[in-house]
Structure 1
Amino acid sequence: MDEQRLIETALRLSKSLTPGDLDHTLSRITAAAVEVLPDVDYASITVRHADGRLETAAPTDDMLLGLDAAQYELQEGPCYAAATNAVHVASPDMATDTRFVRYAAVAVAAGVRAQAGIQLFDAPKSQGALNLYSRNVGSFADFGALGQLFAHQSAAVIDYAREIQSLQEAVRTRTTIGQAVGIVMERYKLTDQRAFAFLTRLSQDGNVKLRKIAEDLNATFAKGN
């Protein structure tokens, strides 16, 4: 890809990849992949959780749920490789790719002739890869610079969305615990410090997260008990 086209693609990407909550962000990434990247007919994102479980997010077509699931089950394919141990995997001709013989039959039967997987993020608790599918043989044969550009910009908006989500969760947790502290203060005539200490002790003794203790207490109080 020449420099001018790369610059034009970068501008289109910056307009397409608008940050939002995490689910919205992932959906925008797959939609932008189909809209902006050459020869991409479908896209999805594979998330590998800390326990090793693989999950498909934001598919642009429901057909991809079956294709991604086949890769997880067979433990082969560009999608699986990029989500588990590779940064960038491309298969311009699935029908002749000897790396993914079992999965290739599934892909070709579904009309997918070329495929690529690009690692998007590698966080302590999860890994993520962008899965690109094409109906045309020869797609993704020369995908280096553009793939890296897309992955870099996508990772940036994912990081932003994760940060916003963490902040929102922190605010919700603080509000939930604050409500529970207020209930304990009123019921047992305690100061806010002693009420918080009471909840903390319940959390430690029961080996239950403080937020869960607070949620249960708030729910019980809401029922009038």
Structure 2
Amino acid sequence: MHDQSMRRGGQLTKGSPPGSGVWPAGLEGVAATLEGLLSASAGLSGQLEHLSLIHLHLDDAEPLVATSSLALAMAREQLRRRSGPAYEAVETGMPVIVSSSERPGRFPSAAPSAAEQEQASEVAVPVRSRGRPAGALSVYWTELVDVDLPALTMAQALAAQAGDLIDHRRQVMNLHAAMRSRELIGQACGVLMSRYGLAEEQAMHALRLVSQERNVKLREVSAEVAESGTLVELD
């Protein structure tokens, strides 16, 4: 089961460069964690062999994680057509269960691909990010099954963990960015104080004024000053 695991929209390979694939730089570690989480769940439960995870706010072209070639193909098809149980789960914020007999009427564009992949049943549950549905975790079966409460509960638990992992990593990234911004602003103020004989408050005021006049972020102006050692507007 584990040797079929996939993430970043393709087969896992060693030595992949950081930030490659569908994951933004800084979220690669989450990809590995989610891949392990879903693959372990697939190994523990025969009902959850084929799993995929999409997150529309991170990438809308490839699934973030897929545990089998069937799951990868089905998730890609829904993303390509922008239709299917995963999309309905995001739109409604509710689990969506569909069988092969129901799919042509509910999701006609996705029905041919499902039949080609011999995919008979599917459940998609929303993955929440910042309190709102932003993606979906899907479970696929090659046989027609009645999705029971234990399978649905397991899928919902995995979706909740996935959402928490992504949100936590984003918070860490935002914190690091804020700390880096403060460092850059401090460096830029030091440059202006040394070069132009300004007081700290004057240097800060100059950076903010240029930021407003250029309509760019204070961080960008500060990075420019820290790198160049000057501020054009003051020369």
In structure 1, C-alpha distance between the alignment counterparts of 2:71 and 2:133, rounded to whole Å = 19
Aligned to 1:8: none
The one-letter amino acid of 2:189's match is V
Secondary structure of the residue aligned to 1:115 is: strand
User: Is 1:138 aligned to residue 147 of structure 2?
Assistant: no
In structure 2, C-alpha distance between the alignment counterparts of 1:69 and 1:82, rounded to whole Å = 16
The 8 Å contact of residues 114 and 139 in structure 1, kept in 2 or not, is answered as yes
The 8 Å contact of residues 112 and 134 in structure 1, kept in 2 or not, is answered as yes
Select 1:102's aligned residue among 102, 106, 109: 109
Normalising by the residue count of structure 2, what TM-score does the alignment of the two structures yield? Answer: 0.68
User: Is 1:154 aligned to residue 162 of structure 2?
Assistant: yes
The one-letter amino acid of 2:34's match is I
In structure 2, C-alpha distance between the alignment counterparts of 1:144 and 1:170, rounded to whole Å = 39
In structure 1, C-alpha distance between the alignment counterparts of 2:168 and 2:113, rounded to whole Å = 36
Gaps of 5+ in 1: 1-20
Identity of aligned residues (%): 21
Structure 1 residues 40-189: aligned runs within 5 Å:
40-48=49-57, 54=60, 56=62, 58-60=64-66, 67-91=74-98, 93-94=99-100, 96-97=102-103, 98-123=105-130, 127-138=133-144, 141-142=147-148, 143-189=151-197
Measured at CA, do residues 66 and 169 of structure 1 come closer, stay the same or move farther in structure 2, by a change above 3 Å?
farther
Gaps of 5+ in 2: 1-25, 231-235
Aligned to 1:193: 201
Higher relative CO (CA 8 A, sep ≥ 6), structure 1 or 2? 1
Secondary structure of the residue aligned to 2:143 is: coil
- Which segment drifts farther, 133-142 or 191-200? 133-142
The one-character-per-residue Cα deviations of 1:133-161 (angstroms, maximum 9, x if unpaired) are: 43522357123322232233333333322
Instruction: Return the structure number with greater helix share.
Output: 1
The 8 Å contact of residues 52 and 63 in structure 2, kept in 1 or not, is answered as no
Normalising by the residue count of structure 1, what TM-score does the alignment of the two structures yield? Answer: 0.71
In structure 1, C-alpha distance between the alignment counterparts of 2:181 and 2:146, rounded to whole Å = 44
Aligned to 1:15: none
In structure 1, C-alpha distance between the alignment counterparts of 2:146 and 2:31, rounded to whole Å = 21
The 8 Å contact of residues 30 and 165 in structure 2, kept in 1 or not, is answered as yes
In structure 1, C-alpha distance between the alignment counterparts of 2:32 and 2:134, rounded to whole Å = 14
The one-letter amino acid of 2:40's match is E
- Following superposition, the deviation at residue 62 of structure 1 comes to 7.7
- Following superposition, the deviation at residue 65 of structure 1 comes to 6.5
- Following superposition, the deviation at residue 100 of structure 1 comes to 1.2
Measured at CA, do residues 44 and 153 of structure 1 come closer, stay the same or move farther in structure 2, by a change above 3 Å?
closer
The one-character-per-residue Cα deviations of 1:5-43 (angstroms, maximum 9, x if unpaired) are: xxxxxxxxxxxxxxxx64322442244123214333242
- Following superposition, the deviation at residue 198 of structure 1 comes to 0.6
The total of aligned residue pairs comes to 197
- Following superposition, the deviation at residue 201 of structure 1 comes to 0.6
In structure 2, C-alpha distance between the alignment counterparts of 1:140 and 1:181, rounded to whole Å = 65
The one-character-per-residue Cα deviations of 1:150-184 (angstroms, maximum 9, x if unpaired) are: 23333333332232222111111111222222222
